[in-house]
Amino acid sequence: MFVHSETFIAAPNAVRQKDSLGCLSNHLDIDLELHTGEFTFYRKCRRHEQTSEVVTPASDRGFLIGVSLTAGHRRQIFSGNRSASHDFEKDSVYIRNFENDYRADLLGAFDFVLVEFSRAFIANLRYEQGGSAIAGFSSLPGRKDAIFGHLAQVLALTLDRGSKTSPVFVEQLGVAIGTHLIDKYGNALTQSNKKNRRLSSLHETRAKDMLLGKAQGSVSLEEIASACNLSRSYFIRAFRETMDRTPHQWLLERRIDQARELLKHSNSSLSDIAMACGFVDQSHFTRTFSQLVGTPPGTWRRQNTR
């Protein structure tokens, strides 16, 4: 799905709505998004000199790499009570792990293309390479990378084309960026690291019970982590190392397990099953079921209830 918007500075009384990356949308002159499933491409540009804040809480979304298309941007990044200032030239890069809280002041104009990768995509790409799992990525914000710089120029032109872009080309571009990200900046996850960050059996049971409750209500990852006496970012990492999947992925799989039972042993409609299993709507249910099972729910029901 392609989302294109040209945004302008809003009046002082306008609602300050933040986008999925924590930017104030009404401060952006170019705001483009291209969703493909395993990764999402962005173009975020502000042409005027201004200071704004970006804040995103820890989540299990995956990883984000941003590449600057122009020079002159400065970013003050905060970590606890400390902060560091980083200057961005053309082809400068920064990498974010969504498992960690992120807060930064954006100083001056900027023009970035960004790619958000799911953890599943990174894990599968690493597996295809025959390497060990990736714990994260390390790179000092503002470091220049000529390869990413060239790929960023191609990505900017791709986003400008919008829906005219070839899906195959988009996929190849995402794989190229992900491959270079892993090869140059990936930190292999050692066996000792896995053992040190696993949930205890008590915390694992508590987390699973609360996640299943989340399917019916409004329990947040923050509340689950607090119940386990862990920070949100540590809980997300520990859950992933314990279960080999993120909390969100684990919950989706349990919802699909429940849906299979209802498909096989009830006459409920697909829309009723979608609602009963915690999906937003039938379309979301069908898309998720097809991705995880390999066939649409209606087809699966016909094949398994003869």
Count of structural domains within the chain: 2
**Residue 77's beta-bridge partner residues?**
84, 104
Residue 167 has pLDDT above 50, yes or no: yes
Q: Is residue 86 part of a domain?
A: yes
Q: Is residue 282 part of a domain?
A: yes
Q: What local confidence, expressed as pLDDT, does residue 306 receive? A: 64
Q: What local confidence, expressed as pLDDT, does residue 259 receive? A: 93
At residue 65 the predicted structure's pLDDT band, cuts being 50, 70 and 90, is very high
> Looking at 154, 188, 222, which one is the last position of a domain?
188
Q: Is residue 193 part of a domain?
A: no
From residue 80, give the alpha-carbon distance in Å to each of 101, 270, 297.
9, 47, 46
Q: Is residue 224 part of a domain?
A: yes
Q: Domain check: are 247 and 179 in the same one?
A: no
Q: Is residue 42 part of a domain?
A: yes
> Looking at 127, 157, 188, which one is the last position of a domain?
188
Q: What local confidence, expressed as pLDDT, does residue 216 receive? A: 57
Sign of the Cα pseudo-torsion (257, 263, 266, 271, in order) = positive
Residue 8 has pLDDT above 60, yes or no: no
**pLDDT tens sequence across 218-251:** 678 888 888 888 877 788 888 888 888 888 888 8
Q: Is residue 54 part of a domain?
A: yes
Q: Domain check: are 87 and 230 in the same one?
A: no
Q: Domain check: are 118 and 180 in the same one?
A: yes
Task: Please indicate whether residue 39 or residue 88 has the higher confidence score (pLDDT).
Answer: 88
Task: Please indicate whether residue 280 or residue 208 has the higher confidence score (pLDDT).
Answer: 208
Q: What local confidence, expressed as pLDDT, does residue 106 receive? A: 92
At residue 117 the predicted structure's pLDDT band, cuts being 50, 70 and 90, is very high
Q: Which of 3-17, 89-103, 198-212, 289-303 has the lowest mean pLDDT?
A: 3-17
Q: Domain check: are 142 and 202 in the same one?
A: no
Residue 73 has pLDDT above 60, yes or no: yes
Q: Domain check: are 229 and 147 in the same one?
A: no
At residue 11 the predicted structure's pLDDT band, cuts being 50, 70 and 90, is very low
Q: What local confidence, expressed as pLDDT, does residue 91 receive? A: 96
Q: Domain check: are 176 and 202 in the same one?
A: no
**pLDDT tens sequence across 248-274:** 888 889 999 999 999 999 999 999 999
**Which tokens is 289 given?**
């079921």
Q: Domain check: are 165 and 217 in the same one?
A: no
**Which tokens is 233 given?**
């970012």
**Region 10-29: what's the mean pLDDT?**
67
Q: Which of 60-64, 110-114, 124-128, 223-227 has the lowest mean pLDDT?
A: 124-128
Cα separation, 158 vs 239, in Å, equals 36
At residue 61 the predicted structure's pLDDT band, cuts being 50, 70 and 90, is confident
Assign residue 106 the CATH number of its domain: 2.60.120.280
> Domain range holding 46?
2-188
Q: Is residue 69 part of a domain?
A: yes
Assign residue 272 the CATH number of its domain: 1.10.10.60
C-beta separation of 149 from 94 below 8 A: no
**Residue 136's beta-bridge partner residues?**
187
3-state secondary structure of 17: coil
Q: Is residue 41 part of a domain?
A: yes
Half-sphere exposure of 86 (CA within 13 A, CB side): 21
Q: Domain check: are 142 and 284 in the same one?
A: no
Q: Domain check: are 167 and 25 in the same one?
A: yes
Q: What local confidence, expressed as pLDDT, does residue 236 receive? A: 84
Q: Domain check: are 158 and 124 in the same one?
A: yes
Q: Which of 36-45, 56-65, 71-80, 209-218 has the lowest mean pLDDT?
A: 209-218
Q: What local confidence, expressed as pLDDT, does residue 189 receive? A: 63
Cα separation, 43 vs 33, in Å, equals 7
Q: Domain check: are 182 and 222 in the same one?
A: no
Q: What local confidence, expressed as pLDDT, does residue 195 receive? A: 56
Residue 10 has pLDDT above 50, yes or no: no
Cα separation, 228 vs 37, in Å, equals 31
Q: What local confidence, expressed as pLDDT, does residue 13 receive? A: 37
How many C-beta atoms lie closer than 10 Å to residue 142's C-beta? 19
Q: Domain check: are 97 and 6 in the same one?
A: yes
> Looking at 188, 218, 235, which one is the last position of a domain?
188
Q: What local confidence, expressed as pLDDT, does residue 215 receive? A: 55
